[in-house]
């Protein structure tokens, strides 16, 4: 679906607009994608933070470059270490 043809589509149908964001937009009398599209981006960023820019730019027809996914590494706990390392660490802790 082209965003240029969505002026009367409810704002909730827009990917990236969740319940909370839609609720705030409704309080501002923004109910459709067309109304959202006409809002100044700086106002949206002030209200919702920088992540709303990608949604607004997509609605306005700008190409959005995919962002790399940030993968969190699991924190190493003592139980994740091999037994020999756990034993060495426990011995060092006992010597303190």
Distances, alpha carbon 41 to alpha carbons 16, 58, 73, 78, in Å: 15, 12, 34, 48
CA distances from 79 to 60, 61, 71, 74, 93 (A): 51, 50, 22, 13, 15
Rounded to an integer, what is the distance from CA 73 to the centroid of its chain? 19
Tell me what pLDDT residue 8 has: 87
pLDDT exceeds cutoff 90 at 22: yes
Over residues 13-33, the mean pLDDT reads 91
Q: State the pLDDT confidence band at 70, using cuts at 50, 70 and 90.
A: confident
**What pLDDT was estimated at residue 7?**
80
pLDDT of residue 86: 76
Task: For residues 55-73, give the mean pLDDT.
Answer: 74
Q: Which of 64, 47, 2, 66 minimizes the C-alpha distance to 17?
A: 47
The first and second tokens of residue 91, run together, are 């011995």
Task: State the pTM of this model.
Answer: 0.59
| Domain 3-59, classified CATH 1.10.150.20, yes or no | yes
């Amino acid at each position: 679906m082209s965003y240029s043809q969505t002026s009367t589509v409810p704002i909730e149908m827009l990917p990236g607009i969740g319940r909370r964001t839609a609720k705030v937009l409704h309080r501002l009398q923004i109910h459709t994608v067309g109304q959202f599209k006409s809002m100044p981006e700086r106002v949206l960023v002030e209200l919702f933070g920088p992540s709303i820019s990608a949604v607004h730019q997509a609605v306005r027809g700008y190409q959005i470059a995919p962002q790399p996914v940030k993968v969190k590494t699991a924190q190493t706990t003592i139980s994740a270490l091999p037994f020999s390392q756990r034993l060495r660490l426990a011995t060092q802790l006992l010597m303190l």
